[in-house]
Every structure is written in structure tokens, then in C-alpha cells.
Chain A
Amino acid sequence: MTAYRVSIHITPRKGLLDPQGKAVEGALHSLGFGGVREVHVGRHIVIETDAVDAASASNSVRTMCERLLANPVTEDFEIESATAS
């Protein structure tokens, strides 16, 4: 077993109203960042886990996302490749 570090990005599902993203977008516009078209605020989760290899660490994190870390109704997630920590 090796320790792996896996990063997960969870964002509101595209198409769903994201009031937090909208509020941040408005603030960026008022700061003068007129080019900002869209903002989405999500969560970044870092997990350190023991696994036999990187693929199995990623697979296990995928299951964690499906069962707990992301809500399948409202959120999408992306898993960065696992790196030995």
C-alpha cells in the first residue's frame, strides 16, 4: 500500500442557478473585471488515502464522490490524477 493524494473539484451542475457564483461575478464586475463572463463557486477537497496503486486510489475516490462528497442531483465533480504523497 502506498499513500496517495487525490484532489477533487466539485462544482454546481451547469445550468442550475448558482447565486453564489452570480454574486461573486457581480463583485468582480464592480472591481473592473468587465471581461468576466461566468463564475462558479464550488468546493476543493483533498484526500490522502492508502491504495495499491494510483488507479485504485482514483477509483476509490470516485466512489466517495458518488456516495457522499458530491450530490448527484446538483453537483458535478472532477478528480485530479492521484499522486504518491
Chain B
Amino acid sequence: MKSPEGLHFKTSLMILLMVIFGPLGDILLGKGMKKIPAMASWAPADVFHFFFAAFTSPTVWLGIGSLLTFFIAYMVVLSWADYSYVQPASALSYGLIAVLAYAVLHEVISPTRWAGVLMICFGVLVVGHTSPRTTPNTGSTTSAAITPRAAERAS
């Protein structure tokens, strides 16, 4: 996928995964941890029970899975795209959280917050019209193993 359209497409796809799975992981992890009784003390038995309860909760595992998906998408997109492109674009997650809070949880969103969401979307649109990659491509991970010279070039 060497064309600019292809580059934009796969970059947008990875950012979409980040925007969905990042906040979803936070929410699931928060929800899962709230269901677990607080740690009674720092005694080894209490610490063990706390972690046992956390790591046997399906919600916690769904949260961990979502956050892992987010981080893998983040790593993958950074293998070709600029950090200064990915970072502002991932702020779209704030917009998604506001829309979900309004539509699913029926929360009241203040006009200031909506203004912020619109501003983020506009900012991301402006950043999105720049090229996702402005540095030389260091080659594909699948075509060949990384050579010390390639690593040197990249750094």
C-alpha cells in the first residue's frame, strides 16, 4: 500500500481502532475494578484475594484485551506514521466518549464540552489533511529482518 490514499486509509483504520479500544478499555477496567471489594489491608492474604478477584473478573480481562488492542494499533501505526500526526488524531477519543456518554448513558453534556468536541474534530480534520508520513520509510518488517545499518539509518 504505497499510494497516498492507501497510506491515509490504513493510518485512519489504525487510529479508528485506537479511538475505539482505548476509551473502551478504560471504561471496562474501571467498571470491573469497581465490582471488586476494596483491599482490606496490605496483609499478603488480602492482597492475594484482591488480585485473585481482579484477575478472575471477565470485565477486567475484556478491559485488558481492549487496552492491548489499543496499544498494538498504536505501535503498528507508529511504524509508518508521524507521531505529530497520530497524537492529535487520537484525541478523537474524547469526542467518542462525549457522544457515547450522551447517547448511551444519557448524560448531560455541557455546551462548553460540545464546543471542545467540535474543536477537536476540526483540529483533527486540519491535521488529517497533512501527509501522515514526512520521514523516510525504513522498510517493511516482513520483507527482511532489520539490519544494524537500517537501525542506524532510522535513528
A and B held together in a complex: no
